[in-house]
């Protein structure tokens, strides 16, 4: 095999494909990227058997062929190459020579034992705009559980019903719900997508109107944008009934500047212990005071101008949970819909039509 490819093109492709490679694998071949060259260009594939990433790029293919190359060293070498063209040559003994300023030689492995990437079988594509899908992922990943004992919560629920796509995640302390409208009338799908797949998917999406083709199969899901395809195994099981968790009678409304509230919670939250000491939201006479007090750490307080005409109350929340929501809110103003200090709060962009809801459970004072 012998190819010539521009550094910027190859570097981006290697980075994407490498994101699917695990650094903890016990199989040497899974620490490699599969590089295939044919008349159509060069295709790079990485996998950890749970997710797989395949990227095709334009290149001058002088001699067709394939090889697997250690992903980490390959990425480091490409990153440090000079700008311009990089030449890669594979000899008869699977030795890989990379020329891009320096000449580097590393051993490769034949592709014979490299896992074959799954292909969707007769799966009709649902198309979702890249920008919409990226925004949805950014909102739900914050509340995906990392508790392996509840594996069903280690991903986000993705639902498609006709002209609406929804994503939901929860770690049992907070819940995120987000929905978008798409073109379509007949499709109906539901799948639990692992967190790693969503994180890596978000990396190659962008804020464009380009469509991402999503294909569902019995135990896998495929995302295709341009010349890049990500495939992931699904989490098997039944997702909890999230609609029961979303409050229906939170009628006391607090409206604040999202950025101002984020900064205040961040400042005051420095002196709040995440496990035992919450930040307090003290609502009194239409004003909001944010407080924290932790033995051995200290205390902090900040008053914030808000719109609030409800009853006086003191609420307590995990500071990080509030920050996670406010950082991805995407709105200048935020609404906190409240009922009592013992019930969950509903957080949403001010004036939103229900396209993004964040439920956060209170902490005891």
pLDDT above 90: percentage of residues in the chain:
87
Q: Within this chain, do residues 135 and 222 fall inside the same structural domain, yes or no?
A: yes
Q: Within this chain, do residues 130 and 235 fall inside the same structural domain, yes or no?
A: yes
pLDDT average, residue stretch 330-347: 96
Statement: residue 120 has pLDDT above 90: no
Q: Within this chain, do residues 69 and 134 fall inside the same structural domain, yes or no?
A: no
pLDDT average, residue stretch 34-51: 96
Label residue 364 by pLDDT band (50, 70, 90).
confident
- Quick check: is 28 in a domain? yes
pLDDT average, residue stretch 277-301: 93
pLDDT average, residue stretch 167-187: 92
Residues 218-270 pLDDT 10s: 899 999 999 999 999 999 999 999 999 999 999 999 999 999 999 999 999 99
pLDDT at 209: 86
Complete DSSP assignment for 336-361? EEES-TTS-EEEEETT--SSEEEEE-
Q: Give the separation between CA 23 and CA 63, rounded to whole angstroms.
A: 31
Q: Within this chain, do residues 356 and 286 fall inside the same structural domain, yes or no?
A: yes
CB 64 within 8 Å of CB 87: no
Q: Give the separation between CA 193 and CA 153, rounded to whole angstroms.
A: 10
Q: Within this chain, do residues 100 and 133 fall inside the same structural domain, yes or no?
A: no
Q: Give the separation between CA 178 and CA 187, rounded to whole angstroms.
A: 18
CA distances from 94 to 77, 88, 107, 108, 202 (A): 17, 12, 6, 5, 34
CATH of the domain at 133: 3.10.150.10
pLDDT average, residue stretch 346-363: 94
Q: Within this chain, do residues 43 and 106 fall inside the same structural domain, yes or no?
A: yes
Q: Give the separation between CA 289 and CA 5, rounded to whole angstroms.
A: 58
Indicate the residue among 85, 113, 141 that finishes a domain. Answer: 113
pLDDT at 334: 97
Q: Within this chain, do residues 87 and 47 fall inside the same structural domain, yes or no?
A: yes
Indicate the residue among 89, 113, 137 that finishes a domain. Answer: 113
Mean pLDDT of the chain, nearest integer: 94
Q: Within this chain, do residues 215 and 304 fall inside the same structural domain, yes or no?
A: no
Q: Within this chain, do residues 212 and 263 fall inside the same structural domain, yes or no?
A: no
Residue 55 domain boundaries: 2-113
Statement: residue 106 has pLDDT above 80: yes
Label residue 179 by pLDDT band (50, 70, 90).
very high
Statement: residue 102 has pLDDT above 80: yes
Nearest to 319 by CA among 173, 211, 191: 173
pLDDT at 184: 75
Count of structural domains, the chain: 3
Label residue 286 by pLDDT band (50, 70, 90).
confident
Label residue 273 by pLDDT band (50, 70, 90).
confident
Indicate the residue among 228, 243, 258 that finishes a domain. Answer: 243
pLDDT at 296: 87
Q: Within this chain, do residues 230 and 205 fall inside the same structural domain, yes or no?
A: yes
Residues 17-40 pLDDT 10s: 999 998 888 888 999 999 999 999
Q: Within this chain, do residues 229 and 296 fall inside the same structural domain, yes or no?
A: no
pLDDT at 175: 98
- Quick check: is 188 in a domain? yes
Q: Within this chain, do residues 145 and 192 fall inside the same structural domain, yes or no?
A: yes
- Quick check: is 118 in a domain? no
The token pair at 233 is 């195994």
pLDDT at 309: 92
Residue that wins the pLDDT comparison between 49 and 25: 49
């Amino acid at each position: 095999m012998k190819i010539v490819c521009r550094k910027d093109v190859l570097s981006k492709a290697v980075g994407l494909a490498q994101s699917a490679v695990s650094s903890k694998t016990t199989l040497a071949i899974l620490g490699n990227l599969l590089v295939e060259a044919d008349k159509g260009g060069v295709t790079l594939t990485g996998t950890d058997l749970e997710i797989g990433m395949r990227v095709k790029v334009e290149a001058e293919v002088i001699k067709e062929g394939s090889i697997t190359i250690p992903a980490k060293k390959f990425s480091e070498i490409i990153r440090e190459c000079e700008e311009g063209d990089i030449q890669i040559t594979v000899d008869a003994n699977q030795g890989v020579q990379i020329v891009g300023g320096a000449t580097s030689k590393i051993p490769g492995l034949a592709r014979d034992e490299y896992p074959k990437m799954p292909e969707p079988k007769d799966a009709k594509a649902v198309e979702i705009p890249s920008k919409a899908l990226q925004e949805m992922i950014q909102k739900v990943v914050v509340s995906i559980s990392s508790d392996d004992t509840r594996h069903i919560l280690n991903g986000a629920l993705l639902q498609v019903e006709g002209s609406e796509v929804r994503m939901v995640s929860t770690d049992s302390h907070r819940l995120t719900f987000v929905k978008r409208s798409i073109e379509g009338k007949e499709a109906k799908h539901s799948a639990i997508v692992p967190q790693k797949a969503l994180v890596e998917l978000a990396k190659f999406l962008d804020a464009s109107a380009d469509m991402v083709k999503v294909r569902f199969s019995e135990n896998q899901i495929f995302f295709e944008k341009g010349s890049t395809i990500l495939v992931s195994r699904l989490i098997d099981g039944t997702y909890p009934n999230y609609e029961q968790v979303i409050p229906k009678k939170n009628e006391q409304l607090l409206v604040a500047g999202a950025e101002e509230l984020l900064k205040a919670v961040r400042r005051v939250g420095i002196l709040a212990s995440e496990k035992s000491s919450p930040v307090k939201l003290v609502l009194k006479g239409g004003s909001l005071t944010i407080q924290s007090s932790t033995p051995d750490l200290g205390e902090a307080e900040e008053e914030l101008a808000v719109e609030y005409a409800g009853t006086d109350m003191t609420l307590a929340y995990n500071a990080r949970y509030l920050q996670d929501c406010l950082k991805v809110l995407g709105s200048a103003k935020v609404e906190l819909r409240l009922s009592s200090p013992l019930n969950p709060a509903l957080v949403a962009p001010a004036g939103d039509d229900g396209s993004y809801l964040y439920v956060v459970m209170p902490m005891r004072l």
